[in-house]
Amino acid sequence: MASKSGKLTKEHFKTWLKEVFYPNVGSRSVLLLNSWSGHCPEAVQEADSKDKEIHLLKIPKGTTGKIQPLDVFGFRIWKNFVRHFSDSVILLNGDLNLHMRNNAIKLHSLTHNQLSSPRYWDDDRGG
């Protein structure tokens, strides 16, 4: 579901809680939220699932890029790989427009492939 403006609203957040989050978490869970005003405790209470005990934690304003788990351990690595590849294309004067939709999809597919290498697996997964 998308908004006409393309921006997440409090109602979208409540819909996500009801239709995605609550059905897929256990009876006791932690929900880590950033400081966006739509991620307010009131929205969580309004969308409350009576059979779930949810402990809310909030990332302090201005620190999301430094401590949000996906920003620190996922997206940063992903973005660095994409930036390295696109910089290489530019430096080598490659005849490739990375802003075209199909090329962007290929770049992200390549990134996924490379970051899925056994080199990045935990020891207990065989790598």
pLDDT on residue 125:
55
**Intervals of the chain under pLDDT 50:** 127
Query: What span, in angstroms and rounded, lies between the C-alpha atoms of 31 and 53?
Result: 10
Residue 71: partners with Cβ closer than 8 Å, 6 or more residues away: 64, 65
pLDDT on residue 127:
47
What's the Cα-to-Cα distance from 101 to each of 55, 104, 105, 108, rounded to whole Å?
40, 5, 6, 11
Query: What span, in angstroms and rounded, lies between the C-alpha atoms of 17 and 115?
Result: 30
Predicted model pTM: 0.55
pLDDT on residue 41:
77
Domain ranges of the chain: 10-61, 68-125
pLDDT on residue 24:
92
Give yes or no for a contact between 98 and 89, defined as CB atoms under 8 angstroms apart.
yes
Query: What span, in angstroms and rounded, lies between the C-alpha atoms of 116 and 119?
Result: 8
pLDDT on residue 123:
65
Q: How many CB atoms lie within 10 A of CB 31?
A: 16
